[in-house]
Amino acid sequence: QKEVEQNSGPLSVPEGAIASLNCTYSDRGSQSFFWYRQYSGKSPELIMFIYSNGDKEDGRFTAQLNKASQYVSLLIRDSQPSDSATYLCAVRRDNYGQNFVFGPGTRLSVLP
Amino acid sequence: DVKVTQSSRYLVKRTGEKVFLECVQDMDHENMFWYRQDPGLGLRLIYFSYDVKMKEKGDIPEGYSVSREKKERFSLILESASTNQTSMYLCASSLPGQAYYQPQHFGDGTRLSIL
């Protein structure tokens, strides 16, 4: 089983809709989780992090964490064409350093 | 803002050459990382370093080595380049410690082609 799994997509949503991106992880001891956005040909940029169960909102983005079920999701409300990118889920591997493991990414396409 | 600078955006080398990829960060971060990114495989960790002179193997260290002589600089070395090392290479840095929320900050990447 891969450490971090994501549906590779592409996930297509119409402009203005809610995009839902999911990520599951295998290490039950994982503590913190990050969502990165990567535009084609560019480097990943941090969108959000979450480490407590429940929801965390930042503007149009909401991260949801359920440690019992070992999944983390990212909701994008009022999706815009500029949100079209690959979204990477990253899980911090250990509690003492900054060693992350990344999922393969989900490609999101927001259709005008 | 954190600035992570990779020395080359695009690089073309020949099989068997020794290749150096340089990365410099300007935020006094202790931690630095080298990844490669390939379609369908995502980001895979090659090597990382939590301090000067220190290095740790990541998930795919074979065929690579690293050097961290100064805190701000982390170099990735392909000892004898092979075609299967053609990839996008990304450098990242972060603050140390147990803080749950410390993200990694990435450079713009080096697209390396081995002919």
pLDDT in 10s for each residue of chain B, 115 residues: 668 999 899 999 999 999 999 999 998 888 899 999 998 888 999 999 988 988 999 989 999 999 999 999 999 999 999 999 999 999 999 887 655 567 888 999 999 999 9
Distances (CA, A) of B3 to A33, A83, A105, B54, B56: 22, 23, 24, 22, 23
pLDDT at A29 over 70: yes
Which residues of chain A are within 8 Å of residue B103 when distances are taken between CB atoms? 34, 46, 49
Tell me which residue has tokens 């535009």: A39
Beta carbons of A98 and B45 less than 8 Å apart: no
Which residues of chain A are within 8 Å of residue B102 when distances are taken between CB atoms? 98
pLDDT at site A1: 56
Non-local CB neighbours of A57 within 8 Å, separated by 6+ positions: none
Nearest-Cα distance to chain A for B15, in Å, is 25
Check if the beta carbon of residue A105 is closer than 8 Å to that of residue A4.
no
Which of B95, B101, B104 shows the shortest C-beta gap to A100? B104
Q: Which two tokens stand for residue A51?
A: 């480490």
Distance separating alpha carbons of residues B84 and B38, to the nearest angstrom: 11
pLDDT at site B74: 97
Q: B16: how many CB neighbours lie within 10 A of its CB?
A: 10
Distance separating alpha carbons of residues A100 and B44, to the nearest angstrom: 10
Chain A contact probe: residue of B31, B37, B55 with most A CBs at under 10 A: B37
